[in-house]
Amino acid sequence: MRDLFSWLVGGRKRGGSQKDQIINLKVVSRKLTRSKQKVENQKRKTERSVKDAIRKGDMEMARLHANELVRNRKWSIGYQSMINKIDGLVFKLERADAIQSVAGEMKNVVNTLAQLNLQLNLPEIENVVNIGIGGSHLGPEMVTEALSFYSQGIKPYFISNIDPDYTENILKSLNPDTTIFIIVSKTFTTIETLENAKKVRKWFVKNVNEESIKNHFIAVSNNTEDPKEFGIESKNILSIPEWVGGRFSLWGSVGLIISICIGSKNFDDFLNGAREMDLHFHETPFEKNIPVVLALISIWYNNFFKCETEAILPYNQFLGKLPDYLQQASMESNGKNIDREGKRVDYETGAIIWGSTGTNAQHAFFQLMHQGTKLIPADFIAFKEPLYNDKEQHKILTSNFLAQTNALLVGNIKSGNEIQKNIDGNKPSNTILINKLTPHNLGSLIAMYESKIFVIGSILNIYSFDQWGVELGKSIAKQILNNGKSNLDESSSQIYDKL
């Protein structure tokens, strides 16, 4: 595996500009910047090895980049481009037709909300509530908060956890007459989502009436029959294609709440930003390919320096939920210990993803990063321009961001009576510098991480698009609900008795 990384050694800066997108990726790390190895003779051979590893995942590439078609308004061109560039791609043209249909459904819902109010003499819609969990929640919530600067005036709410107290607390603040509810479940059988939806429906009927469900509830699902029994009209059921994975689904109908909150034009910009990053990933040589470089760095530290975690550190409070989103996208995808041949791996796979926003994080866990015994690679994400043009305070923010990356690298060597102040430095970090937090640039950033996750799974020869560990927990929960503690181990049985 070390051969895969030989061409990275010795390079301090990687990446490049893409119009108004990611404008710089800087790798700062002892292991990459101070090595004396000279491996240029192996460079081409190594690049071929990495490409071969990625090509082993062509089916996975097809599934991941289903979403690239969703992002691409000129879907037929995007489809032909992928056919030309990805060997063994298994997409059929009818899938592109399905994607175009979903995009049309979404835009129709967003653009006719106001018209619907006029036709039915309804009050103006003020709130939209997304009821879903996992990929049906984390991505849409992260993006709507990140792009709240571009809000069209409708306030978003999210109900995910099957915690009745939290749901009740949200409902008591809502006016049902001015609220739209979106139930997002690929199968329309997810227990958390259905139970929450039933609770919301009961509250709605009590405060309005059952007949009005058709005007206030939308379903996003691959199951078109059960939503009708719930009371949702066929025209208000948006499809999720079977081959779209939940944690990569915010680009399509699962992202309806995003489109409602920021408007169709901004949502199109969001998709176009993602598409540009996809094209960068498809077309750029590996030594300048941002997702590939990030993936290789991640595998390098995880396997050869036993760095079990990676920190995501956006210096922008609007991106406060980005670490949680990437935690699911990465850990649910690459948290595997069996390879594609059915053999147990003898190397590290997915890293633990966590993080917070700067400068809050500086006052929480940066002490351990600087002086602790753990080596924690980190992605620092910053923006050159503020949204509200307060350049003076923004300068304070970016100064802190730059100071932390510098301190992690150079440290502050002390000895003698000041030995407690000694900071070794030499800690790894990536700097991702972006012009401004726009829908376009956020789309690029998310797509960058999606492709990084795919590359890691391909190189490590694991399946990144299933989640059997998650499914096991779900099945046991159902057994407990149906059969009590009969199948539980002794310690769990004792806890069951105390609940």
Catalytically active residues are 332, 363, 474
State the residue for tokens 């990611």. Answer: 22
State the residue for tokens 């939308």. Answer: 218
Contacts with 411 (C-beta within 8 Å, 6 or more apart), sequence order: 370, 422, 423, 424, 425, 426, 427
Nearest Cα neighbor of 465 from 158, 251, 245 is 245
φ and ψ at residue 121, rounded to 5 degrees: 55, 45
Using an 8 Å Cβ cutoff, are 374 and 424 in contact?
Answer: no
Using an 8 Å Cβ cutoff, are 90 and 96 in contact?
Answer: no
Interatomic CA distance for residues 498 and 2, integer angstroms: 51
